[in-house]
Structures are given as structure tokens and as C-alpha cells.
Structure 1
């Protein structure tokens, strides 16, 4: 995905990104987050309302993953670019504690590099 700029303040953008929301196919909640510079790291839990939208899920199954939102300001508006762990973001500011909280969408290579970055 590309960048989406829609908020006059960083606080407003963060409030939207961290707020629970719901669609016809899933409920979404952020169960942990941290802001590291311009990197908003979140552990996101989806409760799925439709069968088969993530792998072979049943209705009511949960899918919990790590997401990174890059935060930036452009021409007076604040925006973000979402990246999921599955895409292997080339950023390593994610807290190690998030790894245990997010069993789905795992990118083993990225997780190993994250551990190495924290050891350095």
C-alpha cells in the first residue's frame, strides 16, 4: 500500500490508528503498541466474521499479527504507510515482547533479523 495523508495532527492520526474498528468481515483491535520515532508498531487482533478470509478460518476465529505504520507529515497533513510482518518490513524497532503476542502472519526471517538487531 501507499501513503495515506488525512489528519491535521499527529495525535489525531495515532488516535485513529489505535482505535478499534469493525467492518462486515472483521472486528479489529490493537492489543499493544509503541511509537519509535516515526514507526508505530502494533499488535493487531482481528476477529473474523466470514469463513475462509484468512487461510481456512471459521467465523469467530482470531488472527493476531504485527503491523508497522510509518508516520510522516506532508504539506500540513499527517499520514501513514502500513506494513505487515508478512511483507518483511526492513525496520527493526519492534519490541521483542510483541513476537510472543502475535502468532499469525509470521515472517521467520524478519523475526530472526529483529532479534539480531536487538542483540547488537
Structure 2
């Protein structure tokens, strides 16, 4: 059996300070400076330091997404994607962007998508309507293309044209078009 026995155990592993001593005398350390959850996506700002003979010779900050998943045997695993690889999730806290330098074209494009996604979420007020280019099929067999946003406390639901309330994933919302 591999993996971690609980989500908390995995998160602790991913967020505690790490150190690697290399055979040539160099040392690398990683420190998680910030973290935020969006479902089972753990967004982090990590600072890596490279040392040679005890003195820091290089440091870099980067944004890393850890996609956490419970496996078939009940343990937890993860896949990590750094911003320069262009993650396909766009719900990273955008307030971090000023603190972390852009690392290449994929990172730049990804940040633009994150900012657009955040802007779209803010515009999803009670009563807003979202439309999709294709039918969205639900587990009850019903489909729909047009949904009305309904806020209940801090939660956001959507009303199908048949009046039923549904939840839409952030990825799905991001692919829709706000109308009104």
C-alpha cells in the first residue's frame, strides 16, 4: 500500500519545510509561505533556497498546485503542477500574484485566466444568468444550457429552466458565458 492514510496527513507532508542534502555539498530547502484550499486543490506559494557551503546562492518563489485525490484503496495521493507549467485550474488566490514573479509564457497566460475567472465569479450575483454552448447533462438525465444564479448565504446554486436547483463546478462555470 502506498500513499497517505488521511488528507490531513498528506497536507502536513506537503506543507512542512523540506531539505535535501546533495552529494556535492549543496543543500536545497523548500518552505511553504502561503496555502489555500479550493476543494481538494491545495494552492501554495513556495520559496526554494539553494545553498553552497552554508551560504544561500539562489532563491526563487513559485506557485504550486497540489491536486489531492483519494485513491481506490482509501489512501490519499497528489499530483503537483507549478504555475510555469500552466495549470488548467484557475481558482488560485490572485492576491498572491504580486508577490511571486511570473515564470514564463504559460505562467503569464495562466494568471490571465485566473484573473478572468475571478472577475466572472464576482459578477455571478443573485439573479445572474449563465449560458453554455452545449447541453449540460445531470445525473437525473435532464439537460440544460441556461441557468440562473441563486445565492443562499455564501453558497451559490443554479436554477435550471425546469426549476430544479443544481450545483455547477467552477471549471464548468468558467466555460460558460454570463448574459444580461
TM-score (norm 2): 0.57
| CA distance in 2 between partners of 1:96 and 1:109 (Å) | 13
Which ranges in structure 2 are unaligned for 5 or more consecutive residues?
22-26, 121-180
- The Cα RMSD (Å) is 1.6
Higher normalized contact order (CA 8 Å, seq sep 6+, divided by chain length): 1
Report if the CA contact (8 A) 2:102-2:108 is conserved: no
* 1:70 and 2:34 correspond: no
- Name the larger-Rg structure: 2
Q: Counterpart of 1:39?
A: 41
| CA distance in 1 between partners of 2:15 and 2:70 (Å) | 18
Compare the two structures and name the one with the higher strand fraction.
2
Report if the CA contact (8 A) 1:63-1:104 is conserved: no
Report how many aligned residue pairs link the two structures: 109
Where 2:77 maps in the other structure, the secondary structure is strand
Shift in Å at residue 105 of structure 1?
2.6
Shift in Å at residue 6 of structure 1?
1.3
Shift in Å at residue 104 of structure 1?
5.0
Moved segments of 4+, more than 3 Å: none
What per-residue deviation string (whole Å, max 9, x for no partner) do you get for residues 51-103 of structure 1? Answer: xxxxxxx9532110000000000111111000000110000110011111211
1:88-99 to structure 2, matched below 5 A, reads 88-99=86-97
Report if the CA contact (8 A) 1:20-1:30 is conserved: yes
Q: Counterpart of 1:28?
A: 30
TM-score (norm 1): 0.84
